[in-house]
Amino acid sequence: MSQSTVAVSELVKVFYDEARGEVRAVDGISFECQPGEIFGLLGANGAGKTTTLRMLATILQPTAGTASIMGHEVCAEPEEVRRSLGFYSASTALYPRLSARETLEFFARINGYPENRLAARVASVIERFGIGEYVQARVEKLSQGMKQKVSIARTVMHDPPVLIFDEPTVGLDVLNAIDMQKVIGEFREEGKTIVFSTHIMSEAEKLCDRIAIVHRGRIHATGTLASLREATGCHYLEDIFVHYVRQAEAA
């Protein structure tokens, strides 16, 4: 098997809340990902998926455990980690007064994309994401769905080997969501590693090579859809998910 491009070991994130005290949002998560793989984190809202991804993206500091991207440790080498990945989250803001084109150019430049290849890269990304119609419009004038497509496009502008998508189709209509799924599949075919968070069962079934079921900050099962079906005796991913969640609650 290829060398892991994403390696996570016993990752923990503890928050302190005045009302609840210590909250273990992530409680010892471990997994590895390979080139050309879509690895899905499947869980309900609040399961710890987003917190895990933010630690991988160096936005949050882990309380304990280790994680690395392309061999670079997230705490020791955050700048190298950021160069090696594109991170998309619905909460990521855009600059409202920049046009869609200016946004793509800006994010390519701050991530060190070669200037002599920038124009061709921008044109390629505009075509791939179908945003040519409104590429000259200011971001503040775009609909929410259009803003989301521009935000996802800027995530990949510097052509990183690892992509992290935190619920990328939330807020998109059905046709745009299908287009986005197709693009994500194309990135896998290009050999990129994709860590994909979702609570939409059909997306996980359609896209993910392996799925990790996350509940209350822990991974309770990891495998291909076929192996999870075999382990549980359930056919539908929804039923598989419920099986592991109930098992975790009982324990």
As a whole number, mean pLDDT of residues 133-137 equals 94
- Position 113 in a domain: no
- Position 119 in a domain: no
Residue 249's alpha-carbon distances to 114, 238, 244, in angstroms, are 51, 16, 9
Structure confidence at residue 146 as a pLDDT band (50, 70, 90): confident
Distance CA 106, CA 50 (A): 25
- Position 230 in a domain: yes
Q: In what order do the strands lie in the sheet with 6-17?
A: 21-33, 6-17, 64-69, 72-73
Amino acid at 69: I
Query: Which residues does residue 38 pair with via DSSP β-bridges, in sequence order?
Result: 194
Contact 87, 125 (CB under 8 A): no
Amino acid at 16: Y
Please state the domain count of the chain: 1
Closest CA to 195 of 64, 65, 4: 4
pLDDT of the residue at 168:
86
Question: For position 189, which CATH number holds?
Answer: 3.40.50.300
- Position 75 in a domain: yes
Closest CA to 143 of 121, 173, 164: 173
Question: In which domain, by residue range, is 196 found?
Answer: 6-90+162-250
Model confidence at 2: pLDDT above 80:
no
As a whole number, mean pLDDT of residues 58-76 equals 96
- Position 24 in a domain: yes
- Position 102 in a domain: no
Q: Which residue do the tokens 């098992």 mark?
A: 247
pLDDT of the residue at 1:
40
* Strand ranges for 18-150 from DSSP E: 21-33, 38-42, 64-69, 72-73, 85-89
Structure tokens at 4: 């892991």
- Please provide the average confidence, as pLDDT, over all residues in the chain: 92
- Position 232 in a domain: yes
Model pLDDT for residues 192-243, shown as the tens digit of each residue: 999 999 888 999 999 999 999 999 999 999 999 999 999 999 999 999 999 9
Express as a percent the part of the chain with pLDDT over 70. 99
Query: Cα 212 vs. chain centroid, distance in angstroms?
Result: 13
Model confidence at 111: pLDDT above 50:
yes
Query: Cα 192 vs. chain centroid, distance in angstroms?
Result: 12
